[in-house]
Chain A
């Protein structure tokens, strides 16, 4: 792994990364051997994952990485409280990839770094836990799948709800036929977001490698008021970034139904007109033949709440009417409420009578267990990269429909492109800023 200086390699493009190919499936782990991890991205989610994995006796966090050194302390403290060894603190994730002792890269960066960070980790022989949404764009997601398969890496996507036990029971209930045939599934993602503030551009703070933070995306003037979630160059949008959980759950409950035939989007930036690019209102219809999946999402609905903390992981159900992250499954013989945050589910018959209930517990630990188990067994994890790609595809399709004027788009699964709108195909792939280019051949 250290046969070539990585800085020299970076003078070219990422295309050269194939030089670093590691074709072995992974090392053999002793029963007491710990999985060595590096964490890329120390925001809230990255810090959480660093802490949770560090608390496991079978894991050691060897690196914490963020371009912004101001983010080190919170994550470092969490890790040092959980494990004996102090992690190394780095601003450049390539130092993690260069270290042959590291087995895993946890990629908890903003959306625009998910793809390249994961692909480079696969090329360097690391297994990857990458946060949702899997990829910044459809093309990139496919490249991530290709990289994982080519280098035989385990890539688990942070869609942990599909590892929860109650989710599996809901799927079994649906498969038992008690709801009849399923024709409509409604996925909600109703939230409350503040307006962005409007402040002048600022100098980049000391200790922040802003060029690295931008990575494949354009290096626009630094402005901390400009929220990356609201900008296409960095994000799939705040709705996609959250609704992906419910969309993935809906797909799971429907036996991971692949590729819709069409998408039709309504909505836009209708309420939070603060200069954002990504929509604050998204109503998307996905047609799978006779099955229709509906996404209803907004950022301005204060009465629609995510499940309160005290309800999650408890023997209580949320107030479904005002639950902002629910899934409704309509069959010919029954109906199901399903909640994302360990909310459980409730099913009703044709007379509206409650037929079955299941309290829920969130699946974070099970998801992490599954990842570690798959690292050792080399099996595909619960939220394998292909599943992540198929789920985030829905977000991208809805966004692209919006970006071409809310047109109804037809999708070809074989080419993963649109067949009735050439303009839409321009959004399948981003423009990458050198040297952070995802190559055609990973």
Chain B
């Protein structure tokens, strides 16, 4: 859910329902500025997030952006925030955040800025060992020196692929004549974002919940940096898909994964076995000729509850393709998860595709992940 507050008073409450977009609903936002004796001014942001599905296993990721002059928008750095309503929020209810040091942000009065609070449904992927099978080519992120691994720390992954509505909201905020947008996004079957004459962007009615497509790797990371997230590594993607040896993680080890080598998020049955259609792959028998609204196959989500890892759109990952002589040169990146154009077999845990990072494809989208915030 998006809240845009044009502050002409010290306390503003805006409530709107944007749940269709896959932003989480956030309501009763109140914002006020208070002086402090020694620490300069601080802004208090309060809001309600009532979604009953928010839990430690499926928390919200809440990020806050502020803007001046309708054009310049900034993500508020987490280090400046204090309270229970930002970053990973694992309980519904009333939230309160203190934004410290606002005198350092080139405005002295909260009335001079707009503030937007958005939330994304995430899934907790506990720390622990898992089986990584997608070799070679997988799991090696040259930029971060991450090698193929069978053990990962706790992280959070977006429950759904990034939607057209979310991406359009992003386009409208960053403004400009089309950075992040390309003409093919007009395609109403495969995407559905229209650029208006004044360089605002609209979602074709009914396309809000479909996954964004025609995004390059750079478009994906730009969107995620705008949110404060990043792309998953192949290892993270694969663990979210298949689950670790213990679904509650290796700290507690109370919930063993019955199928740690599963081929698909739901198990080993083929996506179309027994006349049951478990994800969106090539053809129309699954009910979708092109992409499907995110979460359409929620019954067949991963052991943690991440939706649509199999099929729908293949998903960009952070990893370089590192097995050819193109390594580090053309910068091929890895995409995972099959797509609406892939054969059912290709929607499994190990199929990977290389793509040039500038590729804007109707079968590729993305989702974000968040590492656990360090506490000081």
A225 to B136, CA, bound (A): 5
* Interface pick from B48-56, B65-73, B229-237, B355-363: B355-363
Chain B contacts with A in 309-356, Cβ cutoff 8 A = 314, 322-332, 338-339, 341-343, 345-346, 348, 350-351, 353-355
B11 close to A (CB within 8 Å): no
A225 to B351, CA, bound (A): 14
- CB A240 to nearest CB in B, in angstroms, measures 10
A72 close to B (CB within 8 Å): yes
A194 to B145, CA, bound (A): 12
The digit string for A60-71, where 1 denotes a CB below 8 A from any CB of B, is 000000000111
A283 close to B (CB within 8 Å): no
Number of interface residues of B (CB under 8 A): 34
Contact of B341 among A73, A192, A238 (CB under 8 A): A73
Are B148 and A74 touching (Cβ within 8 A)? Answer: no
Interface SS, B side: loop
Contact of A306 among B329, B342, B362 (CB under 8 A): B329
A206 close to B (CB within 8 Å): yes
A199 to B131, CA, bound (A): 13
A180 close to B (CB within 8 Å): no
A420 to B330, CA, bound (A): 42
Instruction: Decide yes or no: A81 and B339 within 8 Å by CB, A70-B351, A206-B345 being known contacts.
Output: no
What are the residues of chain B within 8 A of A306 when measuring CB–CB? 329
- CB B351 to nearest CB in A, in angstroms, measures 5
B140 close to A (CB within 8 Å): yes
Are B362 and A77 touching (Cβ within 8 A)? Answer: yes
Contact of A73 among B322, B330, B346, B348 (CB under 8 A): B346
What are the residues of chain A within 8 A of B363 when measuring CB–CB? 73-74, 77
Are B325 and A69 touching (Cβ within 8 A)? Answer: no
A196 to B148, CA, bound (A): 12
- CB B343 to nearest CB in A, in angstroms, measures 5
Are A70 and B328 touching (Cβ within 8 A)? Answer: no
Are A72 and B343 touching (Cβ within 8 A)? Answer: yes
Are A207 and B343 touching (Cβ within 8 A)? Answer: yes
Chain B contacts with A in 150-189, Cβ cutoff 8 A = 184
Residue of B nearest to A308 (CB): B329
B87 close to A (CB within 8 Å): no
What are the residues of chain A within 8 A of B362 when measuring CB–CB? 77, 81
What are the residues of chain A within 8 A of B341 when measuring CB–CB? 72-73, 76-77
What are the residues of chain B within 8 A of A225 when measuring CB–CB? 135-136
A77 to B325, CA, bound (A): 25
Are B353 and A74 touching (Cβ within 8 A)? Answer: yes
- CB B340 to nearest CB in A, in angstroms, measures 9
Contact of B343 among A44, A70, A238, A242 (CB under 8 A): A70
B46 close to A (CB within 8 Å): no
Q: List 8 A-B contacts (CB under 8 A).
A: A69-B346, A70-B343, A73-B339, A77-B341, A77-B361, A193-B325, A197-B148, A207-B346
Where the two chains meet, the residues of B that have a C-beta atom closer than 8 Å to any C-beta of A are 135-136, 140, 148, 184, 282, 314, 322-332, 338-339, 341-343, 345-346, 348, 350-351, 353-355, 361-363
Q: Apart from A73-B338, A205-B351, A225-B135, list 13 A-B contacts with CB within 8 A.
A: A44-B326, A44-B354, A69-B345, A69-B346, A73-B339, A81-B184, A193-B327, A196-B136, A205-B345, A206-B345, A207-B345, A229-B324, A309-B331
